[in-house]
Amino acid sequence: MLRRIVETTHEQAFDGIESAQAYAREARSLFMRLGYDRIIRGIQRRGLTGRFLEVGAGPAVLTTMLARAVPQAHITAVELSPAMVAVAREEVDGAGLAGRIELVQGDATDAGLLDRLGRFDLVYATYALHHWEDAETVIGNLLRATADGGTLLIHDLRRVWWLYWVPSREGFFTSIRAAYTPEEARDLLDGIAPGRYEVRRGPFWQSMVVVT
């Protein structure tokens, strides 16, 4: 078994405006947008509308894409890094979606923050799970924020041997080594939402869905 290796935290990686802007450029790339399109199509197939909560929103590229694709949604986007929130605000304002997207700087481990935000029809996080130092606490908080009959979606990379061994220490390959395997994801969810989840996987990604 190739063990998880977490080499940096999310806050350390994006603690400056230049780093946040560089990440935003990556998020707008064709590769990332294709991945975001897949996530959005899954949300549309489920017919989800109403109040959405995004955790680890980053530069809000997915946020604005989803807001356009689901015009009935109002999205509250939470992000830990103040620099990333500043970049996200430019993205949201530039898209003309400030009326439907609320940006909040905060930590998903803070149950009090999520309680104050209320409950949501869809709670989702993308490419953030491998950054969470206490994933069990964060997922528990997100479930509490999910309304009865709502959906929790966690989409992330998955650890696979054929990418794990690539010697590069660039972001994607570092994230692969920090990601969970589907078996580890199931073990994690078994302790939080037993019998209420499904794990779907692709070549190097996976989606965990919990229906409350």
Q: What strand order describes the sheet that includes 73-79? A: 101-105, 73-79, 50-55, 120-126, 146-157, 205-211, 197-201
**Residue 106's pLDDT is what?**
96
Extents of the domains making up the chain: 10-211
Percentage of the chain beyond pLDDT 70 is: 95
**Residue 208's pLDDT is what?**
97
**Residue 169's pLDDT is what?**
75
- Sign, CA torsion 88/111/36/76: negative
Q: Is the pLDDT of residue 13 over 60?
A: no
**Residue 1's pLDDT is what?**
62
- Tokens matching residue 163: 């990418």
Greater model confidence, 170 or 38: 38
**Residue 149's pLDDT is what?**
95
The pTM of this model reads: 0.93
State the average pLDDT for the chain: 93
Cα separation of 194 and 30, whole Å?
A: 36
**Count of all residues that appear for the chain in the document:** 212
Q: What is the homologous superfamily of the domain 10-211 according to CATH?
A: Vaccinia Virus protein VP39 (3.40.50.150)
**Residue 103's pLDDT is what?**
98
**Residue 14's pLDDT is what?**
59
**Residue 38's pLDDT is what?**
95
Write a three-state SS string for the chain. Answer: CCCCCCCCCHHHHCCCHHHHHHHHHHHCCHHHHHHHHHHHHHHHHCCCCEEEEEECCCCCHHHHHHHHHCCCEEEEEEECCHHHHHHHHHHHHHCCCCCCEEEEECCCCCHHHHHHHCCEEEEEEECCHHHCCCHHHHHHHHHHHEEEEEEEEEEEEECCHHHHCCCCCCHHHHHHHHCECHHHHHHHHHCCCCCCEEEEECCCEEEEEEEC
Q: Which residue type occupies 124?
A: Y
Q: What's the pLDDT tens digit per position in 58-102?
A: 999 999 999 999 999 999 999 999 999 999 999 999 999 999 999
Q: What's the pLDDT tens digit per position in 119-171?
A: 999 999 999 999 999 999 999 999 999 999 999 999 999 999 888 888 887 78
**Residue 171's pLDDT is what?**
81
CA distances from 59 to 19, 24, 103, 111 (A): 11, 5, 10, 23
Cα separation of 212 and 209, whole Å?
A: 10
**Residue 28's pLDDT is what?**
94
Q: Is the pLDDT of residue 9 over 70?
A: no
Cα separation of 67 and 161, whole Å?
A: 35
